[in-house]
């Protein structure tokens, strides 16, 4: 603990030192840093849902307090852009005392980029503050350290067509957390590898009135070692396994039992479509994100499953400057099993059991779902089960934000969801939950760089329990 405090003290001194040097002649825009203190307390079993979710895993379902600091550098040299960042914290009540939240180097040459390390990434095409969150990646879990290459921003290839794409490999960092949390009747998989690829097209005149975004992402958990009291086998950790997940292929004789008849690794992804109309004063968007586990979901055989939403965004300061309304469903999951004998039936699907897998402890990092948090994360399981127990849900979500004055802003969320358990373990009674959240921000003009944030929230229902929570945060930017 003393060592960690020393590290944060050094980071704080460096941050303030960089700010002073910037004022004394360095390029001020190249250097930025911050220090933040936060505290959260609640009644009931857990911190309320929206005081925990979509914060890139920097949160806790328990009462907590933390001290966080970060320093970031950006520079440009002709066609090169260089970025780097270090963001860490010490905390009480979190899943770990020391949190290395971000640590990365981001190098870009013209339109191509290379990133190495851990960096917070938001949902593609969604409003990170107001949306309930993406279905494959929502910014709900801690960042995964990875090596990433691609086109980070849209590149105009035709007058009315732009594209961006990316590919990465990474490594999960929650071995110790899983080992500590798993119950004696359950299992976990350590040293899991990660692979991601995505591509998006944007149709329309840049900054024109109409814009259509379409895209697709594919994510994989692979490799690692499944443990149940002892090591239970190598799930594919050689260099050839990195190539196997790059181009999805069926497992061979060396693959784990069960993976020989399916694509090796835990594959999942999302299909994205978003239509936007821009007015001089505002923009309105309608969007759908469709989650899939296999070709049945990819072909939209999962019915009305998906995240359906509309978003309003104002270009001016006003009482309501942003609004999101979403409907989220995961009850179909491509229907019941159709095709049982793989040797007879070529196409199989159904009962997709979203986010769960027989070889990996679900689509989760440090206990938090990497997809939409309205599907309850395994961190809420009290019995040590690392799987998702309530992945069949229907939910409504509303989020809005606005300006109270030049110094005061606010953000609010309301969500209602109910669950039927999972396709293979339905629950006898439908469980319901209602969650709400209200947060205000104060950025005084006379105290440049300071921001104060206070929020209250509560849950009512059987999924997260009846909870009421308060949070306070104070941040100073340099």
Digitized pLDDT (tens) for each residue of the chain, 478 residues in all = 454 444 444 444 444 444 444 444 444 468 999 999 999 999 999 999 999 999 999 999 999 999 999 999 999 988 999 999 999 999 999 999 999 999 999 999 999 999 999 999 999 999 999 999 999 999 999 999 999 999 999 999 999 999 999 999 999 999 999 989 887 778 889 999 999 999 999 999 988 999 999 999 999 999 999 886 555 578 888 888 898 888 876 555 554 544 433 457 899 999 999 999 999 999 999 999 999 988 888 888 899 999 999 999 999 999 999 999 999 999 999 877 644 444 434 445 578 899 999 889 889 999 999 999 999 999 999 888 989 999 999 999 999 999 999 999 999 999 999 999 999 899 989 999 999 999 999 999 999 999 999 999 999 999 999 999 999 999 999 9
Q: How far apart are CA 116 and CA 118, in angstroms?
A: 7
Q: Where are the beta strands (DSSP E) in 296-405?
A: 306-314, 322-329, 364-365, 368-369, 393-403
- Distances 287 to 248, 292, 317, 342, 377 between C-alpha atoms, Å: 28, 16, 25, 36, 24
Closest CA to 393 of 291, 469, 323: 291
Three-state SS for 298? helix
* Alpha-carbon radius of gyration of the chain: 23
Q: Is the dihedral of CA 269, 275, 278, 283 positive or negative?
A: negative
CB 413 within 8 A of CB 130: yes
Q: Where are the beta strands (DSSP E) in 110-190?
A: 112-118, 146-150, 155-158, 161-171, 188-190
Condensed to tens digits (0 to 9), the pLDDT of residues 153-204 reads 999 999 999 999 999 999 999 999 998 988 777 888 999 999 999 999 999 9
pTM of the model: 0.88
- Cα 193–Cα 144–Cα 288 angle in degrees, nearest 5: 100
Which two three-digit tokens encode residue 323?
């609004």
Residue whose structure tokens are 């899943």: 95
Three-state SS for 166? strand
* Distant-in-sequence contacts of 312-317, Cβ < 8 A, 24+ apart: 312/282, 312/283, 312/284, 313/127, 313/282, 313/283, 313/284, 313/285, 314/281, 314/282, 315/280, 315/281, 315/282, 315/283, 316/281, 317/403, 317/406
- Who contacts 157 (Cβ-Cβ below 8 Å, separation ≥6)? 163
Per-residue DSSP letter, 122 = P
Three-state SS for 234? strand
Q: How far apart are CA 292 and CA 268, in angstroms?
A: 6
């Amino acid at each position: 603990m003393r060592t960690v405090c020393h590290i944060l003290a050094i980071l704080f001194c460096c941050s303030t030192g960089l700010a002073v040097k910037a004022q004394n002649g360095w390029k001020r825009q190249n250097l930025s840093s911050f220090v933040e203190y936060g505290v959260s307390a609640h009644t009931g079993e857990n911190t309320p849902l929206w005081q925990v979710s979509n914060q890139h895993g920097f949160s806790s379902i328990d009462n907590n307090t933390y001290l966080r600091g970060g320093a970031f550098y950006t520079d440009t040299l002709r066609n090169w852009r260089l970025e780097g960042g270090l963001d860490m914290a010490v905390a009480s009540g979190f899943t770990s005392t020391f949190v290395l939240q971000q640590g990365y180097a981001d190098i870009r040459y013209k339109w191509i980029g290379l990133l190495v390390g851990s960096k917070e990434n938001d949902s593609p095409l969604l409003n990170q503050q107001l949306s309930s969150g993406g279905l494959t990646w929502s910014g709900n879990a801690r960042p995964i350290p990875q090596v990433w290459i691609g086109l980070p921003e849209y590149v105009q290839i035709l007058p009315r067509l732009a594209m961006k794409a990316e590919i990465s490999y990474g490594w999960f960092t929650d071995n110790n957390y899983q080992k500590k949390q798993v119950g004696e009747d359950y299992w976990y998989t350590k040293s899991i590898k990660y692979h991601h690829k995505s591509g998006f097209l944007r149709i329309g005149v840049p900054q024109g009135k109409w814009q259509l975004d379409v895209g697709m992402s594919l994510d994989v958990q692979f490799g690692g070692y499944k443990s149940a009291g002892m090591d239970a086998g190598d799930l594919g950790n050689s260099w050839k396994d990195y190539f196997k997940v790059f181009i999805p292929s069926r497992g061979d004789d060396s693959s784990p039992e069960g993976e020989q008849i399916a694509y090796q690794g835990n594959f999942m992804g999302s299909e994205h479509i978003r239509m936007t109309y821009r007015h001089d004063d505002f923009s309105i968007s309608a969007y759908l994100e469709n989650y899939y586990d296999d070709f049945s979901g990819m072909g939209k055989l999962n019915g009305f499953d998906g995240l359906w939403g509309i978003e309003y965004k104002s270009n001016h300061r006003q009482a309501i400057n942003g609004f999101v309304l979403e409907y989220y469903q995961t009850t179909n999951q491509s229907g019941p099993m159709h095709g049982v004998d793989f040797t007879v039936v070529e196409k199989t699907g159904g009962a997709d059991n979203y986010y769960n897998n027989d070889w990996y402890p679900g689509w989760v990092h440090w206990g938090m779902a990497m997809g939409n948090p309205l599907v309850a994360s395994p961190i809420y399981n009290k019995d040590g089960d690392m799987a998702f127990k309530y992945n069949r849900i229907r939910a409504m979500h509303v989020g809005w934000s606005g300006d109270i004055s030049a110094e005061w802003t606010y953000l609010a969320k309301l969500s209602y969801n109910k669950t039927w358990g999972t396709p293979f373990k339905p629950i006898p009674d439908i469980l319901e939950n209602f969650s709400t959240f209200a947060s205000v921000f104060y950025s005084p003009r006379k105290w440049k760089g300071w921001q104060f944030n206070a929020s209250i929230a509560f849950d009512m229902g059987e999924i997260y329990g009846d909870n009421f929570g308060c949070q306070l945060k104070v941040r100073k930017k340099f």
